[in-house]
Structure 1
Amino acid sequence: MASAFDTTLTNLGINRSTTSNAAAAVKSSSSLGTSDFLKLLTAQLQNQDPFSPTDNSQMVAQLAQITSTSGITDINTTLKSIQTKLGGTSTADALAYVGKTILTEGSTAYGRATGGIAGAVELDGDATDVSVSIQDANGQVLNTLQLGAQKQGTISYEWDGKTAAGADAGTGPFTVRVQAAKSGATVTSRGLVWAPVAAVSVPATGDPTLTVPGLGTVAVSAVRQVG
């Protein structure tokens, strides 16, 4: 049943349902934007009690809140743009990798000019037994490096380029296999190899990638170290 106040509003041509409809529309949105504030303020003005109109100080406070919200939105947009720029890799940054040697995940390694190879093992947990097996192009094991017990993290190693029998193994390419265990249980690990960057690909969209002999395409984010 409509109250006397509702009847008075109806006679004045004011529909109280307008306010509730506007609020419901705003509630259905996942966020409250500047346009939503304006809708609510407009509905409030249209449906205010003619015998007790909205206080001017309240209107000023609401308008100030709209301005503040809009300013915060602009700041957030600017900060996101800056974050994207800082987190991305520019073409100039990627081109700087050409001619350099990078440490990245892989199983193919080429011998150094001084002989042998250097690499690393990345452990996801502590291990009691870590080993690195080096094979030739035919899959024959040339030598195995026993690194023993190691803590979680990255462990560097060097191979002098000699087979288990002491012969010169050549310049490769070599296949590197790593194994890690703790009390007989496998510990997740990754082999990291040093490899030269031959070229850089800069697509129209997306981040630049590096072309590495023996490893193929490598994302810049996959580079652990630059030599």
Structure 2
Amino acid sequence: MATSFDTTLANLGIARTSNPATVKASGASTLGQNDFLKLMTAQMKNQDPFSPVDNTQMVAQMAQFSSLAGISEMSSTLKSISDKLGGTTTADAVSYIGKTVLTAGNTAYPRSSGGISGAVEVGAAASDVRVTIADSNGAVLKTMSLGKQAKGTTSFDWDGTTASGEAAGPGPYTVSVSAQNNGTTVGATALVWAPVESVSTASGAATLTLPGIGQVPVTAIRSIG
């Protein structure tokens, strides 16, 4: 007969690990707390009365299981809380509708007063940053120099007039950016303001639909107007 809990597990064909909550039988599902208690009861029923299981060992095993089970439950709870805090609820997502957001993109629609505003994300310090605005056919309307810029984000504003001072038209416009640091190309990303047309939470994460840009995850939004 078995003389210890480990022997009982072995006789049942179960390989014991350091975490009783994750012990698996061959071809069986993961053992939980109820399974552990059943095994302990079976061990006590089948122990050799002349050589019973040591009480100290039994208490230590029960304490170990209880501690590990508690840690596992606590980890699961903390993960749920983390997911909740880091996620976006449907109500949060719907609140974006009707607002404008700043995100990476190359298509911009003019304000009611004309012109557009946006920003440039520069990957490193640059001696010259430029923003080029073209019409829907690709014809350049105006190129603006933002001069020397440090690494990070810098804003720009265009009044809606061409290089010759004429009104550029209703848009939409194509925005492209470039950055140089003493002749060396520096990575730069155009950021444009766009109105939120609709929101989708079908995939679990909120996705915004922006005109001229398409679907953008909420995590890609830099600012909300």
Q: TM-score range by the shorter chain?
A: 0.7 to 0.9
| Partner Cα separation in structure 2 for residue 20 and residue 143 of structure 1 | 79
| Partner Cα separation in structure 2 for residue 71 and residue 171 of structure 1 | 63
Residue 162 in 1 paired to residue 152 in 2?
no
| Partner Cα separation in structure 2 for residue 23 and residue 187 of structure 1 | 63
**RMSD (Å), alpha carbons:** 3.2
| Partner Cα separation in structure 2 for residue 18 and residue 96 of structure 1 | 59
SS of aligned partner of 2:111: coil
Paired AA for residue 80 in structure 2: S
1:33 CA drift (Å): 3.8
| Partner Cα separation in structure 1 for residue 197 and residue 7 of structure 2 | 69
Shifted more, 97-106 versus 84-93: the winner is 84-93
Q: Which of 1 and 2 has greater Rg?
A: 1
| Partner Cα separation in structure 2 for residue 217 and residue 21 of structure 1 | 58
| Partner Cα separation in structure 2 for residue 13 and residue 152 of structure 1 | 70
Paired AA for residue 124 in structure 2: G
Report the CA distance shift for 1:225/1:65 in structure 2 as closer, same or farther (over 3 A): same
Match of 2:114 in 1: 115
Answer yes or no: is the 8 Å Cα contact 1:106–1:215 preserved in 2: yes
Q: What aligned pairs does 1:87-98 form with structure 2 within 5 A after superposition?
A: 87-98=86-97
Match of 2:131 in 1: 132
Unaligned runs of 5+ in 2: 24-30
Report the CA distance shift for 1:84/1:55 in structure 2 as closer, same or farther (over 3 A): same
Paired AA for residue 120 in structure 1: A
| Partner Cα separation in structure 2 for residue 148 and residue 188 of structure 1 | 15
Paired AA for residue 75 in structure 1: M
TM-score w.r.t. the length of structure 1 is 0.79
Match of 1:102 in 2: 101
Q: What aligned pairs does 1:1-227 form with structure 2 within 5 A after superposition?
A: 25-26=15-16, 32-34=19-21, 36=23, 38=36, 55-203=54-202, 205-227=203-225
Answer yes or no: is the 8 Å Cα contact 2:122–2:187 preserved in 1: yes
Match of 1:7 in 2: none
Answer yes or no: is the 8 Å Cα contact 1:111–1:170 preserved in 2: no
Report the CA distance shift for 1:221/1:35 in structure 2 as closer, same or farther (over 3 A): closer
Match of 1:8 in 2: none
Shifted more, 14-23 versus 99-108: the winner is 14-23
| Partner Cα separation in structure 1 for residue 153 and residue 183 of structure 2 | 21
1:83 CA drift (Å): 1.3
TM-score w.r.t. the length of structure 2 is 0.80
Answer yes or no: is the 8 Å Cα contact 1:89–1:208 preserved in 2: yes
Report the CA distance shift for 1:137/1:66 in structure 2 as closer, same or farther (over 3 A): same
Paired AA for residue 159 in structure 2: D
Answer yes or no: is the 8 Å Cα contact 1:124–1:152 preserved in 2: yes
SS of aligned partner of 1:79: helix
Match of 2:27 in 1: none
Q: How many residues align?
A: 211
| Partner Cα separation in structure 1 for residue 124 and residue 198 of structure 2 | 34
Residues 18-45 of structure 1 show CA distances to partners (whole Å, capped at 9, x for unaligned) of 7779999345xxx734253959x96x98
1:172 CA drift (Å): 1.0
SS of aligned partner of 1:171: coil
1:171 CA drift (Å): 2.6
Q: Percent of aligned pairs with the same residue?
A: 53
| Partner Cα separation in structure 2 for residue 61 and residue 14 of structure 1 | 16
Report the CA distance shift for 1:24/1:188 in structure 2 as closer, same or farther (over 3 A): farther
